Amino acid sequence: MPDIVTEKVLKKLWKTFWVIAVLPLLLFMGVVLVHQLGIKVTAPGNIRTWGIFLLVFSVAFGVAVPVYMRTSFHGRYVKENHIVISKYLVYQRNMIMICSIAIVSASLAYLFIVSSLYLYGSILTALYGIYSVLPFRIKIEKELRIYRLDG
């Protein structure tokens, strides 16, 4: 893959990442600010149920769904033996959107002050999800080579 194509893909992916992830990240920073100001927010209903629900939701969108999407994308690649860059960019955009949902779940867990186990589990899976979709140069270059992307 020529460096020019790699640069264009990287630039496009970083722009996509920030456009999609800025709102969930701002939400999380807002929740941190709410806690710093000492404002208490209680969840409607049972806090344990909310904790379990938000942990499962965060694990699903931070780990399970992205792993499934990667596997599906790779399976399609094996059948087609090459992929057009536009399909790869759509795949990356979808991955970023899915992992951003995990940030929202972790934010709600922090807002409702759920049990430490559920809170830290939600935050860790959200961090893993976001880290896994960050468009680092080395990762993108390897994927471009592996998938033999066409213009």
CA distances from 93 to 7, 12, 37, 59, 71 (A): 17, 10, 35, 19, 16
In 3D space, the residue among 59, 130, 123 whose CA is nearest the CA of residue 100 turns out to be: 130
Task: Could you list the beta-strand ranges (E) of the chain.
Answer: none
Residue matched to tokens 């929202």: 104
- List average pLDDT for each run of 10 residues in the chain, which is 151 residues long: 78 95 94 90 88 94 95 84 85 94 93 89 94 91 79 53
Residue numbers of the domain that contains 123: 3-40+60-147
In a domain, residue 17? The reply is yes
- 54's tokens: 């938000």
Residue 148 pLDDT: 76
In a domain, residue 53? The reply is no
| pTM of this structure | 0.86
In a domain, residue 52? The reply is no
Residue 16 pLDDT: 95
Compute the distance between CA of residue 62 and CA of residue 122 in angstroms, rounded to an integer.
9
Residue 52 pLDDT: 93
User: How many residues does this entry show for the chain?
Assistant: 151
Residue 151 pLDDT: 53
In a domain, residue 138? The reply is yes
